[in-house]
Chains A and B, each alone.
Chain A
């Protein structure tokens, strides 16, 4: 079985995918992942999951280009420039 290994650098950090190990069961996977991903003290915690347990999602649709949902959906610069110019003209 392939086991995906997620490791945590230190408490508070997210668990990140670190690699995979082939092992017959969870006990061997743990024994081996401990050393492969922790012998230098680089991880404070590990999550191990059989590869089949991972449900991957890789596609989205955005047929109608809903810009307000994204950072590039707002063009602040031009309007800000106009507003500043107007404010300084009025106070000047």
Chain B
């Protein structure tokens, strides 16, 4: 259970970090504002799950060595173009809904309750992703992006849920890019994410 929750938290943390990179540079100002809320929500979800797992959410978020993060390759990718960003948002939210729905049935009431809260917030994320997907669906940029990210998206979920994901998004299952190895991109992200924090002794106030 801890592994599953830690994966969820790390996925939300890293995709939130990636999504927050668009703050200030999204294609439209209105979308910039809305998209930033999504990124903040994801960080909020990560924090809430970390708090289930440990007393100090920041310590879990920042102070582990790189190898101990359990995030999926999909979220690690640095995607500074809108087509890939929306494709990832859409695929990720579809996968996450399956994962979260399972957690909503968890025996641990705290986990089930938190999963339900996350799900209610992610309903807005799904609506947003669908809004964009509809608009961009026929563009070559978006189609290419979905095709490139699809193997990574499959890797977000455990094997038994991948068929369901493929059915939802109407794509054929392919060989997934599995969790387990971290990319150079995550290493770069981790460096930047932790640089200020590492500049002071452990336990310093910020």
| A22 B37 Cβ-Cβ under 8 A | no
**CB < 8 Å A-B pair total:** 26
Which B111-144 residues have C-beta < 8 A from chain A?
124, 127-128, 131, 135
| B33 A35 Cβ-Cβ under 8 A | yes
| Binary contact readout A18-54 vs B (1 if CB under 8 angstroms, 0 otherwise) | 0001111001100110111001000000000000000
A45 to chain B, nearest CB (A): 16
Closest to A35 in B: B34
Closest to A27 in B: B131
| B31 A32 Cβ-Cβ under 8 A | yes
Contacts of B135 in A (CB 8 A): 24
| B34 A34 Cβ-Cβ under 8 A | yes
| A32 B131 Cβ-Cβ under 8 A | no
- Which size bracket describes the interface of B in this complex? 10 to 19
* Other-chain residue from B33, B37, B124, B131 in contact with A28 (beta carbon distance below 8 A): B131
B138 to chain A, nearest CB (A): 15
Bound-complex Cα distance A22 to B34 (A): 14
| B30 A32 Cβ-Cβ under 8 A | yes
Contacts of B36 in A (CB 8 A): 35
Bound-complex Cα distance A23 to B127 (A): 16
Give the one of A22, A23, A32, A39 with max B CB within 10 A. A32
Closest to A33 in B: B30
A32 to chain B, nearest CB (A): 4
Closest to B127 in A: A31
| B33 A32 Cβ-Cβ under 8 A | yes
Which A55-75 residues have C-beta < 8 A from chain B?
none
| A35 B131 Cβ-Cβ under 8 A | no
Contacts of B127 in A (CB 8 A): 31
Bound-complex Cα distance A28 to B127 (A): 10
Bound-complex Cα distance A35 to B30 (A): 9
Closest to B38 in A: A35
Contacts of B124 in A (CB 8 A): 34
Contacts of A23 in B (CB 8 A): 30
| Binary contact readout B22-34 vs A (1 if CB under 8 angstroms, 0 otherwise) | 0000000011011
Q: 12 A-B residue contacts at CB 8 Å? A: A21-B30, A28-B30, A28-B131, A31-B127, A31-B128, A32-B30, A34-B34, A34-B124, A35-B33, A35-B34, A36-B34, A39-B33
The 4 closest A-B pairs by CB, nearest first: A32-B30, A35-B34, A35-B33, A35-B37
